[in-house]
Amino acid sequence: MPTLYIITGPAGVGKSTISKKIAESLSKSVLIEGDDIYNHVVGSYVSPWKEGNHLDIFWKVSVDVIKDYLDAGYDVVFNYIINPSNLNFLKQSLKDYNKRFIVLLVDEETLLKRDAMRPEDCQMKERCIVLLNHFKEHNYDEKFIIDTGKTSIEDSAKQAIEGDRFLMI
């Protein structure tokens, strides 16, 4: 049975890089960048952290796309900034599927260095730290966390694929 890999963490932690490595390591896989789906909206676009955003339709579209690929036999690697209520929505909406949940975290200094290496229009600056603090406040179970400052991209991907601790039951 195909597996959904749910990858989350603050901006700049390595979600896209590690998600791509996971997808490349699987024989039949799809990589879904949540930002790409969120950015489908052009007219009336509102940033996801601001009032008036379009997160409700984003989550519906994301789940529908994920289901379609899982039903077609693909492993799906989905990454986005996910809070506990979003995670519960995904768990309920995708309860009949195999799921792995991975939270990527890193220290503030590394996060800001990585963010500064992005093109200027893609940098989140202090928003990275705000998001990092939100993730710390969510108190996700330690078993789901990978510290990307202490683990290589390859090792992070391998852990996500092989580590039983990431299975969602």
pLDDT at 139: 87
In this predicted model, what pLDDT tens digit does every residue of 140-154 receive, in sequence order?
999 999 999 999 999
pLDDT at 5: 98
| Domain ranges, ordered by start, for the chain | 3-166
User: Side-chain half-sphere of 167: how many Cα atoms within 13 Å?
Assistant: 7
Cβ atoms of residues 76 and 30 within 8 Å: yes
- Rounded Cα distance between 106 and 157, Å, is 15
Q: Which residue has the higher pLDDT, 37 or 116?
A: 37
Q: Which CATH number fits domain 3-166: 3.40.50.2020, 3.30.70.3420, 3.40.50.300, 3.10.450.50?
A: 3.40.50.300
pLDDT at 127: 85
Using the predicted structure, report yes or no on whether residue 158 has a pLDDT greater than 90.
yes
Degrees to nearest 5, angle at CA 98 with 92 and 102: 85
Give the SS3 label for residue 2: coil
In this predicted model, what pLDDT tens digit does every residue of 55-110 receive, in sequence order?
999 999 999 999 999 999 999 999 999 999 999 999 999 999 999 999 999 999 99
Mean pLDDT, the chain, rounded, equals: 93
pLDDT at 49: 86
Using the predicted structure, report yes or no on whether residue 162 has a pLDDT greater than 90.
yes
Cβ atoms of residues 139 and 87 within 8 Å: no
pLDDT at 123: 79
What pTM does this model have?
A: 0.93
